[in-house]
Each structure stands twice: as structure tokens, then as C-alpha cells.
Amino acid sequence: ARKALEYSWLADPYESAMLGMMFVPEHVFFQTLIIAECHEQSSIKDKKALLKRVANNTKRLAKWSESCSENYAHKYFISLALQSWLLGKKEEAIARFKKAISLARLHGYLFEEAIANEWLAKYW
């Protein structure tokens, strides 16, 4: 996961060349997932920076969710859930993962439904 995070950071500067394309929200979403995987093994200083990035990514996903909830609401709730998870708010994270699962199922996003279920299973 560390290597994936390194490559994710390398892709950040090229985002402005792809504004308006679906790759940008996908990158933001997957970067949040990668950060969540790397967070536990990080130093305290790195954890703060990673949490800040997750918060920023979540804000961006919120905007996309407002514009097109069918395509982005489930991603937004997964990101919100991961933010709660990383802050130690497990019950809040569980509720958000469940919301993400229902939204992903409703709109036919099987892959993201599976991701949310996998994180939920980590708790149990």
C-alpha cells in the first residue's frame, strides 16, 4: 500500500490537465482508500498529514456528490466513513459504511458496495 500511496502522490500534479474527466474523482476516491490502508503504519506526523488529505478528499467528493449523487454519493459516504474510522469514531464509521452500501447497491455500483462491505467486515 505504501508504494500505491507514493504513485498516488506522483499523479496529483497532473490533475489539472484532466479537470472535468472522470479520472479526477476516481483518483481522489482511491487515494482516500490507499491512505486508510497506510494510516496505521505511519508516524504520528505522517498521520496528521494523511488525515488532512482524507478531509480534503472528502470535501471534494461532497461537491461531486451534490452535483451527481447517483455517481458519487456512495463514494462520498465511504470517504466519510474512512475519515470517521481513522479518527477512532467506529460507530459513526459503521453507520456511514452502511449508508454507502445501500447507495452503491441502489445505483448499481457493485465494486464500491464490496469495498464498503470489506471495511465494515474489518470492524466485525
- DSSP string for residues in 85-112: HHTT-HHHHHHHHHHHHHHHHHTT-HHH
CA distance 98 to 116: 8
**pLDDT surpasses 70 at 20:** no
- Measured distance CA(48)–CA(8) in Å, rounded: 18
83-108 confidence digits (pLDDT tens): 999 999 999 999 999 999 999 999 99
Question: What is the residue-averaged pLDDT of the chain?
Answer: 93
